[in-house]
Structure 1
Amino acid sequence: MDMDGLILRLFDIQAVKFGSFKLKSGITSPIYLDLRVIVSFPDVLAAVAALMWERVKDLQWDHLCGVPYTALPIATVIAVQQSRSMVMRRKEKKEYGTSVLVEGRYTAGQTVLIVEDIITSGASILETAQDLRAAGLQPLHSIVMINREQGGQANIEASGCSVHSVLTLSQVLECLERHQRLEPAVVGQVRQFLAANAQVAVPASPLPPPRPKALPFAQRAALCPNPVGRRLFEIMEQKKSNLSFNPDVTKKAEILRLTDLVGPSICMLKTHIDVVEDFDWDLVEQLRALAVKHNFVIFEDRKFADIGNTVQLQFTSGVYRIAEWADIVNAHLVPGPGIIDGLRQGAKAAGRDIGLLLLAEMSSKGNLATGAYTEANVKAALEHPDFVIGFIAMQGLAPAHPNLMYITPGVQLAKGGDALGQQYDTPEAVVGRKGSDIIQVGRGIFGAADPAAEAEKYRVAAWEAYQARVQATA
């Protein structure tokens, strides 16, 4: 599809309209460009993506980012057709759920090409650029399909982001006039409008809310109503450690050996007690003794996920009698909030202070712990602050509630993944950028030649990321 063919096709599918239209900038225009409709016309969407790519293929950048929502399909087609990485800016934050506005895998300092359909004042690109910068990215370039020639390019480039366009509004008019699709009077009216509105100011917008202050763990301890959560915050501050270790092996002797080696560096030990082939009660007693010796809490990663009565029995009965020795347990919220009540009753029956973590997000590829499910976990935690101490999550979810803590699995000193879908991120990214509190490490430590030394590396990396986060919002 050549340029004239595309313009005529846009006119035929009513992506270019004439009449009286109020624009985002507040002015009333005799022409309206509505590229939302191209998602229903694959040939047009493909042609738009191809022409936009042709304009920017020689530029240097790390990620694409489509302005929500109209440009998202265009950016996606470009990313897929050209095998280029894409990040996604959410248009709004939700009251509950993830507080991250820019989704995807990226690192601070990487550059971005912003994709947009139309620019008038440039406000949408400027808003997107602002959120990208807040996430640590650099919006260097932008590509637009049609430039309305009303000052948007100058406004955007004044912010340090270059603008590249496929078409101008004048070119669209010239083509439609040449092919006799418009009456001369309409063409004259639009040109008169463009001459009178050659510079549209960017609409004033409220300043973004300040980044919530990241309180030190010692201050958050005082805000935590659950004794175990409070104690864990205190341990983290005392040991200068926000590292949790998972000795995910199947032999009692190896679990105890590894725990004793890394104990000085950790604030929490995570167990999978049902994988231990030679489990006995002596293992539990020795782990409890090591917890006292090295000052850490024990988190049994049982992931309860049944109705309240069943999980209460699973928690208190059977071979493992988890409620008698674990300081912290976790649960999926799939059965509903009754699971919280069942576990709370189990803790009461055991006569012990126990904290519950809700499994709000997971680190495995393709997992379903997202969106409304994550939001429901946050809501449930806020309704049960005396028992729910936080979340298994990939980031901070409710920064306005510092009594809640976040434990993030899938952390290694270098990003990567494994053959079973586990995805890894770094301590700096998880704690520093995404707002988590505790990193959960297993194979990265027990698979090392010197587990104790490796655990100390993780402790230092996570603690420095935490200190940087606190200082950044002080």
Structure 2
Amino acid sequence: MDFVKEFAIFLHESGAIKFGSFKLSSGKDSAYYVDLRLVPSFPHQFRKMIKSMQNLISEKIGLDSFDYIASVPTSGLVIASALAIETAKPLIYIRQKPKDYGTSSLIEGKIPEGSRVILVDDVGTTGHSLLNAIKSLKDAKIIVESAFVIVNRLEGARQNLEVEKVKMYEITDILTISNILHNEKILDDQILDRINKQMNTK
């Protein structure tokens, strides 16, 4: 069984993806909810997910094309930390707002100007948090051209990042996951139809 199919079934069985009616942090209504923060509680699946992300990075841009891994707290940071250990790449992370004590820096970690980074997050929706991180990195004269997420929700993140000349890659997306679960008779036609309408693919 390939990783994406196994992962889709695991997400459903572990409760990391739920179907129904949910209110997102953006205020939008959604036919599903993805919570990848549950995955590290399942070490074998977590390890497979990190390995799959490492393979995706190797395949798309190569491990020699960047110097640092960067992420945004908190869920993306867990993934980026594991990835940094696997690839032996230094890790930094970007706060959404400066801390109000100490150095009040947005970027945590030591990184020289001109360094090349990849951004890592768990889920790509509109790309809002990634865009904030890209701005902070560029302001610090750090080069960022690629972002990697586990699941793309297909709600504009790729297009929004492209405006900043950052290319986004993902292991899988919500339509692929939904179609796998539908084929496995886990998801009914009605829910699949709602997800398709949410993605504006119909």
Q: TM-score scaled by structure 2?
A: 0.91
Matches of 2:82 and 2:101 in 1, distance apart?
A: 30
Q: Is the 8 A contact 1:142 1:164 kept in 2?
A: yes
- Matches of residues 335-354 of structure 1 in structure 2 within 5 Å? none
Deviation at 1:144, TM superposition (A): 0.8
1:102 alignment partner in structure 2: 107
Deviation at 1:185, TM superposition (A): 1.4
**C-alpha deviations, 1:334-388, integer Å up to 9, x for none?**
xxxxxxxxxxxxxxxxxxxxxxxxxxxxxxxxxxxxxxxxxxxxxxxxxxxxxxx
Q: Which amino acid aligns with 1:128?
A: A
Q: Which amino acid aligns with 1:94?
A: K
- Matches of residues 119-268 of structure 1 in structure 2 within 5 Å? 119-195=124-200
1:74 alignment partner in structure 2: 79
**C-alpha deviations, 1:258-317, integer Å up to 9, x for none?**
xxxxxxxxxxxxxxxxxxxxxxxxxxxxxxxxxxxxxxxxxxxxxxxxxxxxxxxxxxxx
Which structure: greater strand fraction?
Answer: 2
2:13 alignment partner in structure 1: 12
Deviation at 1:50, TM superposition (A): 1.1
1:272 alignment partner in structure 2: none
* Higher RCO, 1 vs 2 (CA within 8 Å, ≥6 residues apart): 2
Q: Is the 8 A contact 2:70 2:117 kept in 1?
A: yes
**C-alpha deviations, 1:55-80, integer Å up to 9, x for none?**
11215111101221111111111110
Q: Which ranges in structure 2 are unaligned for 5 or more consecutive residues?
A: none
Deviation at 1:140, TM superposition (A): 1.3
Matches of 1:155 and 1:149 in 2, distance apart?
A: 11
Question: In percent, how many aligned pairs have the same letter?
Answer: 28
Q: Which ranges in structure 1 are unaligned for 5 or more consecutive residues?
A: 199-474
Q: Is the 8 A contact 1:25 1:121 kept in 2?
A: no
1:302 alignment partner in structure 2: none
Matches of 2:152 and 2:24 in 1, distance apart?
A: 14
Q: Which amino acid aligns with 1:70?
A: S
Deviation at 1:22, TM superposition (A): 2.1
The structure number with the bigger radius of gyration is 1
Matches of 1:33 and 1:140 in 2, distance apart?
A: 26
1:201 alignment partner in structure 2: none
Deviation at 1:24, TM superposition (A): 3.4
**C-alpha deviations, 1:108-152, integer Å up to 9, x for none?**
011110001111111111011111122221221100111111211
Matches of 1:94 and 1:184 in 2, distance apart?
A: 47
Deviation at 1:2, TM superposition (A): 2.1
Q: Is the 8 A contact 1:121 1:150 kept in 2?
A: yes
Q: Is the 8 A contact 1:61 1:140 kept in 2?
A: no
User: Aligned in 2, Cα 1:24/1:139: closer, same or farther, shift over 3 Å?
Assistant: farther
1:242 alignment partner in structure 2: none
1:315 alignment partner in structure 2: none
Q: What secondary structure sits across from 1:165 in the alignment?
A: strand
Q: Is the 8 A contact 2:69 2:120 kept in 1?
A: yes
Matches of 1:83 and 1:143 in 2, distance apart?
A: 17
Matches of 1:8 and 1:128 in 2, distance apart?
A: 31
Q: What secondary structure sits across from 2:199 in the alignment?
A: helix
Q: What secondary structure sits across from 1:64 in the alignment?
A: strand
Q: TM-score scaled by structure 1?
A: 0.40
1:50 alignment partner in structure 2: 51
Instruction: Return the match for 1:114 from 88, 112, 119.
Output: 119
Q: What secondary structure sits across from 1:143 in the alignment?
A: strand
2:35 alignment partner in structure 1: 34
Matches of 1:96 and 1:90 in 2, distance apart?
A: 13
